[in-house]
Chain A
Amino acid sequence: MSLTLDIGATGMLAQQLNVDVISNNIANMTTTGYKRQRAEFQDLLYQTKVRPGASSSDQGTTVPAGIQQGLGVKAGSVYRINEQGALQMTGNPFDTAIKGEGYFMITLPSGETGYTRDGSFQLDQDGQLVTSEGYDVQPGITIPPDAVDVTINASGEVLVKLQNQTALTNVGQLQLATFANDAGLEAIGNNLLLETEASGTAVVSNPGEPGYGQIEQGALETSNVNIVQEITSLIQAQRAYEMNSKIIQTGDEMLSTVSNLR
């Protein structure tokens, strides 16, 4: 009997996780480069009470369908959906967006390389291109102080126009990293992701190469959260949560019936 209570509890836990994931998506609706997440569920193990195909007589007849009692539900995975977000024009020369596959590479304070789709870069006191946290963008790009205009083209070349010069000077090249399995990257907050065993190693190349996105200067990639979809999922998750709590209530009522039996 307590099986009903346990199964109801796994259902409530699963829906709780679902609501958590949805609320994180809604909270990050306006986070630059955020990729929405989705919780995916799987059924738990089964207790086989009567095996399908078990013999039911000595005449060779078999049970057409056995009895397998499931033990509830578990969270299978929470995965990112790497659909392209919309581009929002900002006009800021150091704002860059990736149209297509790839991640910018960032040197973290720990020395590790972080990966991000958030291209809202700025300059630090030395003229070096950094993220909004002040972490260096790889490979290092320094804008000379006498530059009057900065152009980042679709293939990631950073060109500056120096004072009293007509030709543009190339001061660096932005590069992008791709992974076999984007969903396997580990999110560490601040719009940053880390390479893991599941993602595969980073393959670095210039933007615009086959399989790599292009750079759009003066634009940022918005999150790919679709608010209508999220609210609908939230309603569904809440109702599912309620129904699972009803299961627990009913199981409890049946138990109290038993204890009133005598």
Chain B
Amino acid sequence: MENISYIGLSQQLSLQQQMNMTANNLANMSTPGYRAQQTLFSEYISQPRGGDIVRQANNSGSYRNLSVGSLTQTHNEFDVALQERGYFAVQTPGGIRYTRDGAFTLNAERQLVNKNGYPVMNENNETIQVQADATQVRITEDGEITSEAGTIGRLKVVNFDNEQDMLRTGENLFNPNGQAEVPVQNVRVVQGFTENSNVNPVVEMNRMIEVLRSYQSTQRMLQTDHERIRTAIQKLTQV
């Protein structure tokens, strides 16, 4: 009897979840290296089975759009962007984390660090030290950092078998969730650029309207069902 209400409820819950993700995508529209996220469960709900089975929407999943974002030129010598899939590695207090946000800088000890002060790793998992006499720093396409004073090191760029499996930890960082690093064959690093988020505002706005309208139509369905039950009770008691 209440199946319609349950189906409506589960759809509204999943729409709320989708709305929250859309909101997070739009809020991170200008976060460098951010990957747009999308929920998977609206498809589960759109074809609910009849009978007594009511599908709950919660444990379906979400996926990240892994396409490479556009690049913004910053002219900053330690800003780097990746033009292919892959991640830079940084040493955080909780272990090595991976990021596509290449807005790096030097700290007071002349180590290459990210904007949270976490040291950036070279290919041997060591911190990168830029000598005091290093001027005209160049970062080549394969991640080699050189200056007039000589070679400084090479940025570590790695990827993972299942990027969807990686956990986000905030601060533009990813936790590989136990996966092993896979070396990237064709590293393409560009200096003086940062990668924009790959959020497409048109898609997100469109999804937002869609979610709102589905939400409203579900509400209408619930109301109609409510009316139906009320009418039934009235008719049955008029005997």
Contacts and interface: CB of A to CB of B under 8 A. Distances in A.
A53 B165 contact: yes
A203 B131 CA distance: 13
Contact of A3 (B20, B75, B194): B20
A125 B37 CA distance: 65
A244 B24 CA distance: 10
Interface string B97-132: 000010101111110000110000000000000001
B4 interface: no
Interface stretch (B43-51, B88-96, B169-177): B169-177
Given A52-B165, A180-B109, A181-B106, A10 B116 contact: no
Nearest to A46: B168
A200 B27 contact: no
Contacts of A77: 115
Given A244-B26, A250-B212, A261-B222, A180 B19 contact: no
Contacts of A71: 24
Contacts of B194: 40
A180 to B, nearest CB: 4
Interface residues of B, number: 70
B105 A79 contact: yes
B143 interface: no
Contacts of B216: 257
B166 interface: yes
A261 B219 contact: yes
Contacts of B167: 46, 48, 51-52, 66, 68
Contacts of A52: 164-167, 177
A203 B172 CA distance: 33
Interface string B54-67: 00001111111000
Interface in A77-93: 77, 79, 81-83
A65 B165 contact: yes
Interface string B1-35: 00000000000100111011111101111111010
Interface of A is mostly: mixed
Given A1-B16, A11-B23, A53-B178, A64 B61 contact: yes
B52 interface: no
A150 interface: no
A43 B168 contact: yes
B234 interface: no
Contacts of A1: 16, 19
A251 B19 contact: yes
A254 B209 CA distance: 11
Interface stretch (B151-159, B183-191, B200-208): B200-208
Contacts, number: 209
B162 interface: yes
Contact of B37 (A14, A41, A70, A73): A70
A66 to B, nearest CB: 7
Interface string A41-71: 1111110111111000000000111111111
Nearest to A254: B215
Contacts of A64: 61, 162, 164-165
A211 interface: yes
A243 B26 CA distance: 7
Given A10-B27, A251-B19, A81 B75 contact: yes
Nearest to A237: B30
Interface in A237-255: 237, 239-240, 243-244, 246-247, 250-251, 253-254
B27 A251 contact: no
B140 interface: no
A145 B105 CA distance: 46
A76 B28 CA distance: 12
Contacts of A72: 23-24, 27-28
A76 B177 contact: no
A243 B29 contact: yes
B224 interface: no
Contact of A239 (B39, B133, B201): B201
Given A250-B208, A257-B215, A11 B29 contact: yes
A223 interface: no
Given A41-B32, A261-B219, A180 B23 contact: no
A7 B40 CA distance: 20
Contacts of B105: 79, 181, 183-184
Nearest first, the 3 A-B pairs at minimum CB distance are A11-B27, A200-B108, A70-B24
19 contacts: A3-B23, A15-B30, A42-B116, A42-B171, A43-B168, A50-B61, A51-B167, A53-B165, A67-B60, A70-B24, A72-B27, A76-B115, A79-B105, A83-B76, A180-B107, A181-B105, A181-B106, A200-B107, A203-B132
